Structure 1
Amino acid sequence: MSITDEDTGWYTDPDLVLPPQAGLSDKPGVDIHTDNITWTGDAKEMRLRAKVPEGTIDVTLRPRGNALYNMGTGYFPMFGDARYPNYEYALPTVDTSGTLTLGGRTQKVRGQSWLDRQWGPLPDIASGDAWWAWMSLSLSNGDRISVWNQKLDRQNNFATVLKPDGTQTVTEATLTPDRSTLWTSPTTGKSYPTRWKVTIPGEHAELNVTVHAKEQELVNTGPRYEGSAAVTGAYDHRPVTGSTYVEVTG
């Protein structure tokens, strides 16, 4: 669990590595119990309680609308390589309400969440031979987009676009980092861009992505960068805003 204050840039991320299958059960739906997370429910309603040393979030999640299936079916070969079959879907519009407690102060929270689920074999990213960048775009026009740029032996880029009416398209997309905005982690020495240009020609989209806080690195699982970011730009020849979560491994 990580928490980012998008106004001040404050960030915390007690990044715990658990053994395979830890906290899981054979019950249908979601039934996860670890030392710092309890997550139960189904596709209609879920309850999530997660804690960090600084506090706790306790929310109810109610998905609505359609699921987004990456590459249109929920299956794609990672890096375009059949050795790495991956599966991914999202519930991109999840009404969320509950409480957030930080520093002993509890306040009510309400908003929307993006629930993403991916599984499948991957190569060792620590070697530096493979890398990816992924974003989950929630736009003000109602479109929800999962964008992938992947590289192993060759580049593999695509976006899956979910429209408000439930239709989905798979199209070309690129995530271009602004190398002038690199942030270097004082912990790992790795450098990550903090701004990107997202281009989706099929949607006439030119989007700017800017992270809310530079220090959003997960150290123990990669390391890699995972952080919240703001979206502005043009989409289908109209101004658009939005939010996204950025995952970058290299």
Structure 2
Amino acid sequence: MRKTTIGAAAIASALIASMGLVSAGTATATTAAGPAATDSSAASGKGLADTNLPVLVDPTTDLTYNPDRPNQSWYVTAHVTAGGHRYGFLAHYNQFNVGDPDQWRTLSAVSITDEDTGWYTKSEIGLAPGAGLSDKQGVDIHTDNITWTGDAKEMKLRAKVPEGTIDVMFRPRGNVLYNMGTGYFPMFGDARYNNYEYALPTMDTSGTLTLNGHTDKVRGQSWLDRQWGALPADLTSGRASWAWMNLNLSNGDKVSLWKTKYDKENSWATVLKPDGTQTVAEATLTPDSSSLWTSPHTGKSYPTRWKVSIPGEHAKLNVTVHAEDQELVTTRRYEGTAAVAGTVGHRPVTGTTYIEVAGGQ
């Protein structure tokens, strides 16, 4: 049962340990300037808080497409209300290569789930490498189902599914979540697969949702996750797998939770507190084997209920999907909105999350 609260000394040590990977050209390490992270911007609504900790990513400049980076992902999930219903929606542009320069795969995906009724729809479009991307500063994605533009202060998303469109504005505020406290971690616990990941976990979201010709106003919160880095060449063989969650808890905690398996298994959490403190802790993600749902599209089986434990945070949580069929068929991956309930620090909490389950057989 271990956890590490990230302060300047701890992050500096991680920075030194990672410099060999950074100098190799995988990514450019930058340090955000300004006062130590506080929750003042969350209270005032004036955008992102700055940090003077020596992190390895820049939440502003690293939104931009960099053609030299492998396996790039722009991923936004939302939990909103519209027309008296609660909805989860996802927009994901994912370009990845698993070791062969000629084997690039690119997917532009959108999904919407009615969290009250379990209704689900999606759009998946396979693309040529780099299609729909530009090196314009910030996010600049244009595909047949996603138009996503803007910067770390304000973004616009127009996303399409067969039944209609999502038209929303994102306004990030508060603290950035840096995975592993620095924005760097070795995927699968192996430094050969150096990955960089950060999140803007608190984005005020407003706009409209139009389904079957009916338009409702949207209000809620979104989480943007930006990731890039190396992956094993045999990723598609089923040898590697992972589960990931982005927990938004009622006590104000934001948690990026990973469980990866390749030659060995690793599970860990990065916990962002409301005051800006970031903690890295061991975690367990235990699927409920009695809750498996088998996809009629691909034949793969996915858990629909999980137990999450973060002993260093005294966290015990139950995670339950809002609908069973939330699979992206093109990449044989589960991307599902889910409810969270349990305790943190021996106090009851509720929350929301998206569950990503990928790889394996």
Range into which the TM-score falls when normalised by the shorter chain: over 0.9
Cα deviation for residue 25 of structure 1 reads: 1.2
> What code does the residue aligned with 1:35 have?
D
Q: How far 1:33 sits from its partner (Å)?
A: 1.0
Give the match for residue 202 of structure 1. Answer: 312
Distance of 1:80 and 1:19 partners within structure 2: 30
- Report whether the alignment pairs 1:37 with 2:146: yes
Pairwise CA distance, 1:126:
2.9
Q: In the alignment, which residue of structure 1 is the partner of 2:265? A: 155
Within 5 Å, give how 1:192-231 maps onto structure 2: 192-221=302-331, 223-231=332-340
Corresponding residue for residue 236 of structure 2: 126
In the alignment, does 2:186 pair up with 1:93?
no
CA distance in structure 1 between the aligned counterparts of 2:329 and 2:218, rounded to whole angstroms: 28
**CA distances 1:87-139 after superposition (whole Å, capped 9, x unpaired):** 10000010000000000000001000011111112234331110000000000
Cα deviations by residue, 1:6-50 (Å, 9 ceiling, x for unpaired):
111111122112222211112111111111211111101101111
Which one has a bigger Cα radius of gyration?
2
- Report the alpha carbon displacement of residue 52 of structure 1 after superposing the two structures with TM: 1.2
Q: Which residue of 2 aligns with 1:175?
A: 285
Consecutive unaligned residues of structure 2, counting only runs of 5 or more, are 1-109
How far residue 157 of structure 1 moved from its aligned partner, in angstroms, is 1.3
1:57-82 residue CA offsets vs partner (Å, 9 max, x unmatched): 00000001010000111111100112
Q: Residue 83 of structure 1 aligns to a residue in which SS?
A: helix
Alignment partners' CA distance in 2, 1:7 and 1:45? 29
**Letter in structure 1 aligned against 2:263:** D
Shift of 1:155: 0.8
Percent of matched pairs sharing the same residue: 79
Alignment partner of 1:139 is 2:249: yes
Q: What does the per-residue CA deviation read over 1:162-212, in whole Å, with 9 as the maximum and x for residues that have no partner?
A: 000111010101110000000000011110000000000011000000000
TM-score, structure 1 as length reference: 0.98
Task: Choose 25-34 or 144-153, whichever is displaced more.
Answer: 25-34
> Which runs of no fewer than 5 residues in structure 1 stay unpaired?
none
* 2:354 alignment partner AA: Y
Name the counterpart of 1:14: 123
- 1:126 alignment partner, SS class: helix
Q: Tell me how far apart the structure 1 counterparts of residues 193 and 182 of structure 2 sit (CA, whole Å).
A: 16
Asked whether the equivalents of residues 194 and 230 of structure 2 are also in contact (C-alpha less than 8 Å), the reply is yes
Aligned with residue 56 of structure 1, among 162, 165, 168: 165
Structure 2 length normalisation: TM-score?
Answer: 0.68
Structure 2 letter corresponding to 1:198: V
Which residue pairs with 1:71 in the alignment?
180
The structure 1 segments of at least 4 consecutive aligned residues displaced by more than 4 Å after TM superposition are: none
Aligned residue pairs: how many? Answer: 249
Distance 2:116 2:128 in 1: 35
Bigger proportion of residues as helix: 2
Q: Find the aligned partners of 1:208 and 1:228 in 2 and give their Cα distance.
A: 14
Distance in 2, matches of 1:192 and 1:245, equals 14
Q: Tell which deviates more after alignment, 189-198 or 6-15.
A: 6-15
Secondary structure of the residue aligned to 1:145 is: strand
Q: Aligned with 1:15: secondary structure?
A: strand
Structure with the largest fraction of strand: 1
Moved more, 20-29 or 92-101: 20-29
What is the rounded CA distance, in whole Å, between the counterparts of 1:188 and 1:26 in structure 2? Answer: 35
Counterpart-to-counterpart distance in 2, 1:46 and 1:15: 22
- SS, match of residue 122 in structure 1: coil
The equivalent of 1:84 in structure 2 is 193
- SS at 2:236's partner residue? helix
